[in-house]
Structure 1
Amino acid sequence: MTAPIVAGQPRRMRQIRAALSLLVALAFLAFAFYKAYGYLQSDHGTTVGSSSCMTGSAKAPVALPKDTTVNVYNATTQAGLAAEVARKLRDRGFVIGEVDNDPLKKKISGVGEIRYGSEGREEARAVSLALPDAKRVNDKRTDAVIDLAVGAKFVDLAAPPTCS
């Protein structure tokens, strides 16, 4: 004897399969949206470049060196350090303002300090590409001029970003 066929069993199986397929499709779409949202929140694919390869992202652009005026100050006892750093920054396209000993007369034990105001935030980021270990200090100035005080642990500027 064969098992009796219960009315509706094949229809019930089709409903379960359809529900499972829908759940799998929704899970896949949720994962895809999650990945896409994370990709959009990161800096992938939104780089903005210049002829000097100073880059940033569309959400946080970096000022171009030719738009950035930098005062270079020596905050160490090593003679000529500010002039050397100013020459290297000028070679990278930065506009150099004053070159002198630190007017604040601070002796900086680290690599340096990048001093800026709210108008110079992007310019400070451009300088920090050359000195990534320098401390950024918002000193509330009202212009976009950057002061770079070179400290005792300064060795050399970081390599400029490479063009690809």
Structure 2
Amino acid sequence: MSYVREDGLAHARRRRQRRSIIVLVVAVLLLFGALFYALAFMRKSTESSPSASSSCAVTTTAPPQSIFTLNVYNASSDSGVAKRTAAALQTHGFTIGTVSNDPYKESLSGVGQIRFGPKGKKDATTYVEKYLHGATLVQDGRTDDSVDVVLGDEAPTIKSAPPAKVSLPPGCSTPTP
């Protein structure tokens, strides 16, 4: 067996070369990691920056009273009251169905009636009753969630809702016509 004996300088030189290669590999890996992080950060910031098509778009949610149909009927001696009331209630977010004279052909002298079925009771008492204080609540046999407003001679005049103010996020400007 023969052993090759190396001197101390050659051994030190190989150790330095190994150390240099390890330092170089670590530096390259850190450089690629930093580059990847920078690209990910830039991609994220461009996706979240305000643009006219995404974050400056005005989103509105439907009011809860728009989930059921509200029919407005006239049972008073005043002609056109159902049409005016339906238009006003629509500005408050209601989905208006039929606007006509009372299908039961009743003539009501009081405020009126709010007619509903079992599915529409909550909607009638929660959303409709506040516009017709003093109206008689009448549960009928309908199977859907629609609600009828039947206006009598003493029905209050319902005012239209003021136009909603639209607030845009910072950095967005109002469109010019």
- Report the CA distance between 1:137 and its aligned residue: 0.2
Distance 1:158 1:140 in 2: 31
Does the CA-based 8 Å contact 2:70-2:95 persist in structure 1? yes
Tell me the TM-score normalized by structure 2. Answer: 0.52
Matches within 5 A, 1:75-94: 75-94=75-94
Partner deviation per Cα, 1:2-28 (whole Å, 9 max, x = no partner): xxxxxxxxxxxxxxxxxxxxxxxxxxx
The 5-angstrom pairing of residues 128-147 of structure 1 reads 128-147=129-148
Q: How does 1:1-164 map to 2 (within 5 A)?
A: 64-125=64-125, 126-157=127-158
Separation (CA, whole Å) in 1 of partners of 2:68 and 2:132? 15
CA RMSD of aligned residues (A): 2.1
Aligned residue for 2:24?
A: none
Whichever of the two has the greater Rg, that structure is 2
Report % sequence identity. Answer: 38
Structure 1: distance between partners of 2:71 and 2:133 = 17
Structure 2 unmatched ranges of 5 or more: 1-60, 162-177
Residue type matched to 1:112 in 2? Answer: G
Q: CA offset at residue 111 of structure 1?
A: 0.6
What displacement does 1:155 show?
Answer: 2.5
Residue 7 of structure 1 aligns with which residue?
none
Return the letter of the residue paired with 1:86: A
CA distance in 2, matches of 1:83, 1:104: 18
Report Cα offsets for 1:27-60 as digits up to 9, x if no partner: xxxxxxxxxxxxxxxxxxxxxxxx89x8xxxxxx
TM-score by length of 1: 0.56
**In structure 2, how many angstroms separate the alpha carbons of the residues matched to 1:135 and 1:127?**
12
Q: CA deviation at 1:158?
A: 8.1
Structure 1: runs of 5+ lacking an equivalent = 1-50, 55-63
How far off its partner does 1:129 sit? 1.3
Contact 2:91–2:160 at 8 Å: present in 1 too?
no
